[in-house]
């Protein structure tokens, strides 16, 4: 891979699942392992990554670069209290940054790819706005954070659906007939059978076999990785295999499970203290969970992880026994 940075977009289907705190502390853990790391606040319109790093919100950042032409993003990197870790602020105090233009978005993505670091973590806004989906698509592998509760898992599925449909639409938009076909499919009435990627492929094959191959290539290219946050017990992972089957059947995507972070009262304490969790509560179960995720990133990020659901369940059971002492 040479000196090229590994870019890891981190998103969530809904707010309140701990995405930003995880992004900050995974960045800390990677830096503590000796890797040059940059954490980027891409939650434009709601930037608050600085709080999880214990840094004041008074540095110029992405908003200044895009709206005020303050130079390159690499010139705006802010040192943190953690060796090897730098921070790129988001919108700061500039309003309406959630609505950047297409040109600004493309310029931003180009500069993100050239940031000087081994790992670049992108804290993306929650939900499925086009800019959010496009930022998540910056890399083939990204992290999607959820909590192991049905509403959040459903939001995760909705995010994945919007993401892959957005990728397909972007790839085929130059073909007028296909663009119109997709528009009709994406805007079907709610009482009609939902569109799936597989049904799109079958119908598009009759219009353009080349376009069908593009869809297959897109679905094979992206490999979202799931982190379940604020978990209470390993039995919350029992539905993982079914979720994977649903995602594959409906969206033709292969997802992998990458981590389980236990709910921990020390997290709230760190937030109230405006301190870094891994620094202020290094022995907590949440910190230990995050260190395991960072270790997996350094060892496994560029590999395909087979049986990821089974592996995560076994690892989580071991961690639960070690920390909680039950079962």
pLDDT at 95: 80
Domain 6-150+222-324 classified CATH 3.40.50.300?
A: yes
What's the pLDDT band for 289 if we cut at 50, 70, 90? very high
pLDDT at 326: 43
| % residues pLDDT > 90 (the chain) | 84
pLDDT in tens, 175-227: 988 999 999 999 988 778 888 999 999 999 888 999 999 999 999 999 999 99
What's the pLDDT band for 327 if we cut at 50, 70, 90? very low
Look up residue 19 and give its two tokens: 């995405």
Look up residue 67 and give its two tokens: 């709206």
Look up residue 256 and give its two tokens: 């992998």
pLDDT in tens, 20-63: 999 999 999 999 999 999 999 999 988 999 999 999 988 999 99
Look up residue 156 and give its two tokens: 């995760």
Q: Is-contact 237 312, C-beta < 8 A?
A: yes
Quote the pTM value: 0.94
pLDDT at 2: 47
Distances (CA, A) of 73 to 82, 167, 324: 20, 26, 44
pLDDT in tens, 215-236: 999 999 999 999 999 999 999 9
Q: For residue 325, is pLDDT > 80?
A: no
- Those residues with Cβ within 8 angstroms of residue 263's Cβ, 6 or more apart along the chain or in another chain: 230, 231, 232, 286
Look up residue 292 and give its two tokens: 């395991």
Average pLDDT over residues 278-286: 95
If you search the block for the tokens 């799936």, which residue do you land on?
196
Largest Cα span, the chain: 61
Distances (CA, A) of 88 to 57, 212, 220, 249, 300: 11, 39, 31, 38, 26
pLDDT in tens, 250-272: 999 999 999 999 999 999 999 99
Look up residue 14 and give its two tokens: 């809904």
| % residues pLDDT > 70 (the chain) | 98
pLDDT at 3: 61
Share the mean pLDDT of the chain.
93
How far, in Å, CA of 269 to CA of 104, rounded?
Answer: 38
């Amino acid at each position: 891979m040479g000196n090229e940075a590994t870019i890891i977009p981190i998103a969530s289907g809904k707010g309140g699942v701990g995405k930003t705190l995880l992004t900050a502390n995974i960045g800390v853990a990677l830096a503590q392992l000796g890797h040059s790391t940059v954490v980027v606040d891409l939650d434009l319109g709601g930037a608050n990554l600085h709080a999880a790093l214990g840094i004041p919100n008074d540095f110029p950042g992405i908003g200044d670069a895009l709206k005020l032409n303050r130079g390159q993003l690499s010139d705006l990197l802010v040192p943190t209290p953690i060796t090897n870790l730098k921070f790129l602020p988001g919108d700061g105090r500039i309003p309406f940054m959630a609505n950047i233009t297409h040109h600004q978005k493309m310029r931003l993505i180009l500069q993100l790819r050239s940031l000087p670091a081994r790992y670049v973590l992108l804290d993306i806004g929650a939900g499925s706005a086009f800019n959010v989906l496009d930022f998540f698509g910056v890399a083939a592998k990204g992290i999607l954070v959820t909590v192991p509760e049905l509403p959040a898992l459903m939001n995760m599925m909705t995010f994945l659906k919007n993401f892959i449909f957005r990728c397909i639409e972007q790839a085929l938009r130059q073909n007028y007939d296909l663009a119109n076909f997709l528009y009709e499919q994406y805007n079907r009435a709610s009482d009609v059978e939902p569109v799936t990627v597989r049904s799109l492929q079958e119908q598009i094959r009759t219009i353009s076999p080349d376009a069908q191959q593009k869809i297959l290539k897109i679905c094979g290219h992206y490999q979202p990785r799931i982190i379940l946050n604020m978990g209470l017990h390993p039995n919350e992972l029992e539905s993982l295999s079914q979720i994977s089957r649903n995602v594959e059947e409906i969206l033709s995507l292969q997802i992998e499970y990458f981590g389980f972070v236990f709910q921990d009262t020390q997290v709230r304490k760190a937030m109230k203290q405006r301190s870094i969790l891994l620094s202020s509560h290094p022995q907590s179960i949440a910190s230990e969970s995050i260190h395991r995720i960072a270790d997996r990133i350094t060892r496994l990020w560029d590999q395909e992880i087979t049986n990821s659901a089974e592996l995560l369940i076994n690892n989580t059971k071991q961690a639960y026994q070690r920390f909680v002492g039950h079962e």
